[in-house]
Amino acid sequence: MVQTVRGEVGPAAPGSLAGEQTIRLDSSGGLITNTFGKYYHLAKLGVLFHATTTTLVGLAPGTDAAGTAATLVLHNPASSGKDLVIYEGRVSRGSTGDVGPGTIYWMMESDSTLGVPTGTAATVVNGYVGAGGASVAKALYTVTVDGTNPRPVRIAAALFENAVANTAAGVASPATDDVGGSIIVPPGVWVGLMGHSNAGASPLVTEGILWAELPT
């Protein structure tokens, strides 16, 4: 049986996300989605978070992704009651150092019996700036992981030899991996950005992660 669905034309005004919402159509009858940006509703709910390595000169990406050193890690405590849904990772070069060739991987350790990652706490910012709640995740940089068998999940970025002098001026966009929710970190597990690269002279990078925290 065919059912006709009707909706109002044009975007709805921002407001409460609770209760029934009217379907919105464009002038040709197409369904309007993500009217205010694809992350707007998660940010408005206060469950979207950002973390970035805050050592301004950058950090060494690492030379062995299967080792125990990671640049940036998100650890989901066993008692959190939340899943960490990863949406995006970003990698850019640090302000000093020559980047050797290699790869930045998303690495995950799913053995919750291993030791909790340790490192320097990164500042976590709620996407609903000044209004959202605190994150349950522990974001760390310059991390040591008890990763006896960390596994690569996907490639986040490629590194290449830098032929430009450190004194050269210019602006370059960071490498952005649009994970899109395809990595979910359950309680007791960590995911992180770990490099497998040539050491170069002094390879340094800056990294960031965007994620949401949703009930398990």
- pTM score over 0.75: yes
Is residue 147 included in any domain, yes or no? yes
Q: Measured between alpha carbons, how far is 124 from 133 in angstroms, rounded to an integer?
A: 11
What does the DSSP 8-state code read for residue 79?
T
Residue 34: inside a domain: no
Q: What is the pLDDT of residues 166-193, one digit of tens each?
A: 544 555 668 899 999 999 999 999 999 9
Each residue's pLDDT tens digit, 24-60: 777 777 877 777 888 998 999 999 999 999 877 788 8
DSSP string, 135-191: -SSEEEEEEE---SS-EEEEEEEEE----S-TT-----PPEEEEEEEEEEE-TT-EE
Neighbours of 178 (CB within 10 A): 10
Between the alpha carbon of residue 88 and those of residues 7, 41, 63, 124, 150, the distances in Å are: 32, 16, 23, 15, 20
pLDDT, one tens digit per residue, over 81-126 is 999 999 999 998 877 666 667 888 999 887 777 788 999 999 999 9
Residue 1 CB contacts under 8 Å (≥ 6 apart), including other chains: none
Does residue 15 lie in a domain region?
no
Residue pair 176/104 in contact (Cβ under 8 Å)? The answer is: no
Asked whether residue 142 is domain-assigned, the answer is yes
**80 falls within a domain:** yes
Q: Specify if 115 maps to a domain.
A: yes
Is residue 54 within 8 A of residue 72, CB to CB? The reply is no
Range of the domain at 154: 46-165+173-215
Specify the number of domains making up the chain: 1
- Per DSSP, what are the bridge partners of residue 192? 73, 107
In this structure, is residue 95 part of a structural domain? yes
Pairing state between β 102-109 and 190-197: antiparallel
